[in-house]
Amino acid sequence: MVEGISRVNQAHKNNGDQKLAEMLEVIFKYAAGDLTARGTLSEDDSALDGVMAGINILGEELQANVAENKRAHQALSESEALFRTIFDSVQDGIVLMDTQTRGFKMVNDSFCRMLGYSRDELVELRVDDIHPEGDIANIDRQIERHIKREIGLVPNLPVKRKDGTIFYADINSVPLQVKGATFLLAVFRDITERKRAEDQQRQVSLYVRSLIEADLDPLVTISVAGKIMDVNEAVVQMTGVPRELLIDSDFSKYFTDPDSAHTGYQEAFAKGFVRDIPLTMKHVSGKLTEVLYNASVYRSEKGAVAGVLAVARDITERKRAEQAEELASRDGLTGLNNHRTFYALLKDEIVRTERLKRPVSLLMLDIDYFKRVNDTHGHQAGDAILKEISDLLVKQARAVDRVCRYGGEEIMVILPETDPTVAMKIAERLRAAVERRPFDIGGGKTININVSIGVATYPLQVNSLEALVKAADVALYAAKQGGRNRVCRFEMDNAETGAGP
Amino acid sequence: MENEQIVTRLNTVWLGEDGIARIIHVPGAEVTLRDAQETMAAYLKLNKGKRRPLFVGTKSMKSIEREARNYFAGEEAAKVASAVALIVDSPVSRVLGNFYLGVSHPHLPTRLFSLEAEALEWLKGYLE
């Protein structure tokens, strides 16, 4: 019996040793890194089985933790790699600066490229090393303001490359607190290209401005809403209004006729341009300037009409010259072309005749007994008759004919492209018109007068301008000799009476 | 009236007249996640959506894998059971129960008992 009990105990002991050995083996495997090891449990469900079960669970938990850590580490590595890729692929330079040491803790590839340093070189440098010496004090002030979050962006700061050359950057930064230390995360944007473009734009603007100002005529740009957007100095001079008051004001109010100005402006919008619209500009002093208004629309990049570019050309001098020319070419009493102009017109007509091979006829007209009119009714009456007869001849002549005062009471009528037969008919019509007309000599009195007319034709009868005038004179003389109040055609041997009273 | 019961691969699930659900494992059970899901499905079928206290007999259970432990300790179990009493009457089941409490941190009130009567008495406090 005792022996039997002893055998059972011995069996338990052997079984317990075996379980302990297995436990140790599992634990050693864990220690060696094999967390998949598991111990077996016996059917007797002893305390050692309970310990073994606990060891197995520990193994499971350790295995799960290791797997979880591995996953977390993998995720962190991937995240870091992604961050690094993004960090380095950004076009702007990014730098993490320690605010205590002013040294660079982290820089991206773009920052290295911008400055020409390697990453290893840059992390050995300080802020002072990448800015011109003269700007360090300012940079330090800006950094302090960044740390206090007073500013976020510092534009246009000079940055020094490794080779000593300078470029300009806009620097955006934000302070970061990491484990009690303050860092500045700064983004450097190289603005070299932008500055170059801005400089070019400025040059273009200056060029355009100089072009605008170089134009002595008033030049103005007008918005779609009819407001002045820009003017040159000539506009200021012509209106007497300062530039700052002209800008954004209604352009039409500087003209005596704003409605016409508006009409021209709208026509420019409709057609794309307007040419030579006569307007009058007002100066604040009341002085008026006659101008010709020319305008063209200008368009935006997308082709939409952005406004109107208008030039008001001062035509004061031109009009003055035209008036002077008019005065010089006209007879003061009758308003007819004067003696000088007569010869100029006749000369032109002779040239035209040569070119077109069409004759030109000339009528020389003289008032009969004009001296007697002057003597009897006075010179004022004579002048009145001269004026009235001139008006009558202009009305009776054809539109192409030119009526000129030749001198005294002699009047010439140039008949372009007119042969002798037609010329005689016209001359007779003029003579008859004068004969029929009662002339007012003032004081309620009228008198009748007559005219004699000589007719000559180039080149049928004569071969020069002077000869044509002389021939008409000869014909006139013949008309006088023939009894006056008649028309005579020039004949080589003698004057021939064409018509009689 | 004999209560309805469902027998799974490793346990029998039934609802007592006291309103307490019971899960009794076969001796030597080695519970996997799939077993845990099968047990939960049986329990849900019996309790018809009502949260009940749960009596779990783990006599002679040999092991319960980590995923199965986490499944029982998770939020899903807490939605359908109001409390769990684990009967641990062997060294192995006691170790498993203690690890379950200490490592898996179940989302619902859970206690280990040696005596069934004490467990049922405690569970009555969780009848809803």
Mean pLDDT of A149-156: 86
Q: Among A318, A345, A375, which residue terminates a domain?
A: A318
Task: Tell whether A383 and A483 lie within a shared domain.
Answer: yes
Count of CA atoms in the C-beta half-sphere (13 A) of A244: 0
Same domain for A351 and A427?
yes
pLDDT of residue A497: 42
Q: What is the ipTM of this complex?
A: 0.83
Angle between helix A316-329 and helix A339-356 axes, rounded to 10 deg:
90
Q: Do A49 and B63 touch (CB under 8 A)?
A: no
**pLDDT tens column, A444-489:** 889 999 999 999 999 999 999 999 999 999 999 999 999 999 999 9
Per-residue pLDDT, averaged over A123-132, amounts to 93
Q: Do A280 and A417 reside in the same domain of the chain?
A: no
Chain A environment of B92 (Cβ under 8 Å):
41, 45, 49-50, 53
* Statement to judge: residues A395 and A419 lie in one domain: yes
Query: Is A452 a domain residue?
Result: yes
Domain span at residue B23 reads 5-124
Question: Which among B62, B91, B103 has the least Cβ separation from residue A47?
Answer: B91
pLDDT value at A420 more than 90: yes
What the block records as the tokens of A421 is: 């037969």
**A137 and A237 share a domain?**
no
Which class for A158: exposed (0-12), middle (13-18), buried (19 or more C-beta within 10 A)? Answer: middle
Distance from the Cα of B99 to chain A's closest Cα (Å) equals 7
Q: Which residues in chain B are contacts of A51 at CB distance < 8 A? A: 91, 95
| Contact criterion met (CB < 8 Å) for A60 and B65 | yes
3-state secondary structure of A446: strand
Closest to A106 (Cα-Cα) out of A167, A190, A185, A173: A185
Mean pLDDT of A78-96: 90
**pLDDT greater at residue A224 or residue A348:** A348
Same domain, A27 and A126: no
Residues A178 and A258 in one domain: no
Which chain B residue has the Cα nearest residue A49?
B92
Q: Does residue A10 sit within a domain?
A: no
**One domain, residues A307 and A351:** no
What's the CATH code of the domain at B50? Answer: 3.40.970.30
Give the CATH number of the domain where residue A429 resides: 3.30.70.270
Contacts A65 to B, Cβ<8 Å? none
- Whether residue A101 is contained in a domain is answered as yes
Task: Give the DSSP H or E segment for A422.
Answer: helix A420-436
pTM reported for the whole predicted model: 0.45
**Token code pair at residue A483:** 């009894």
CB contact under 8 A, B99 and A64: no
CA distance A204 to A136: 34
Residue A206 falls inside a structural domain = no
Contact residues, A window 35-94, toward B, CB-based 8 Å cutoff:
41, 43, 45-51, 53-54, 56-57, 60-61, 64
- Verify that A359 and A454 share a domain, yes or no: yes
**What sign results for the dihedral spanned by CA atoms A369, A372, A373, A378?**
positive
Specify the CATH number for the domain of residue A159: 3.30.450.20
pLDDT, tens digit only, all 128 positions of chain B: 456 899 999 999 999 999 999 999 998 899 999 999 999 999 999 988 789 999 999 877 889 999 999 999 998 888 889 999 999 988 888 889 998 998 889 999 999 999 999 999 999 999 98
Q: How far is A34 from chain B (nearest CA, A)?
A: 17
**A64 contacts B66? CB cut-off 8 A:** yes
The answer to whether residue A205 sits within a structural domain is: no
- The region, left, alpha or beta by phi > 0 then psi within -120 to 50, assigned to residue A179 is left
* Whether residues A473 and A391 fall in one domain: yes
Can you list the alpha helix ranges (DSSP code H) found in A215-298?
Answer: 233-239, 243-246, 258-271
Q: In sequence order, what DSSP letters do the residues of A12-37 get, joined into one string?
A: HHHHHHHHHHHHHHHHHHHHTT-TT-
- pLDDT value of residue A9: 65
Q: Does residue A459 have a cis bond before it (omega within 30 degrees)? A: yes
Q: Is the model's pLDDT at A284 over the cut of 70?
A: yes
pLDDT above 80 for A99: yes
The range of the structural domain enclosing residue A142 comes to: 90-190
Specify the higher pLDDT residue, A460 or A316: A460
Q: What are the pLDDT digits (tens) for A25-39?
A: 999 999 888 999 999
Question: Which of residues A190, A223, A256 is at a domain's end?
Answer: A190
Residues 82 to 111 of B: which have CB under 8 A from any A CB?
A: 90-92, 94-96, 99, 103
pLDDT band (50, 70, 90) for residue A325: confident
Q: What is the mean pLDDT of chain A?
A: 89
- pLDDT at res. A8: 61
pLDDT tens by residue, A194-225 = 888 888 888 888 777 777 777 678 888 888 88
Q: Is residue A479 a contact partner of residue A487, using CB atoms and an 8 Å limit? A: yes
> Does residue A422 carry a pLDDT above 80?
yes
Domain count, chain B: 1
Could you tell me if A156 and A181 lie in one domain? yes
B30 contacts in chain A (CB < 8 Å): none
| Residue A208 covered by a domain | no
Q: Choose one of A27, A59, A82: the last residue of a domain.
A: A82
Are A237 and A254 within 8 A, CB to CB? Answer: no
pLDDT at A75: 93
Question: Residue A498 pLDDT more than 70?
Answer: no
What was the pLDDT predicted at A492?
77
Domain shared by A401 and A483, yes or no: yes
Q: Please name the residue ranges forming H helices in A173-298.
A: 192-214, 233-239, 243-246, 258-271
Using the predicted structure, report yes or no on whether residue A499 has a pLDDT greater than 50. Answer: no
> How many domains does chain A divide into?
4
Q: What tokens does A12 get?
A: 């338990």
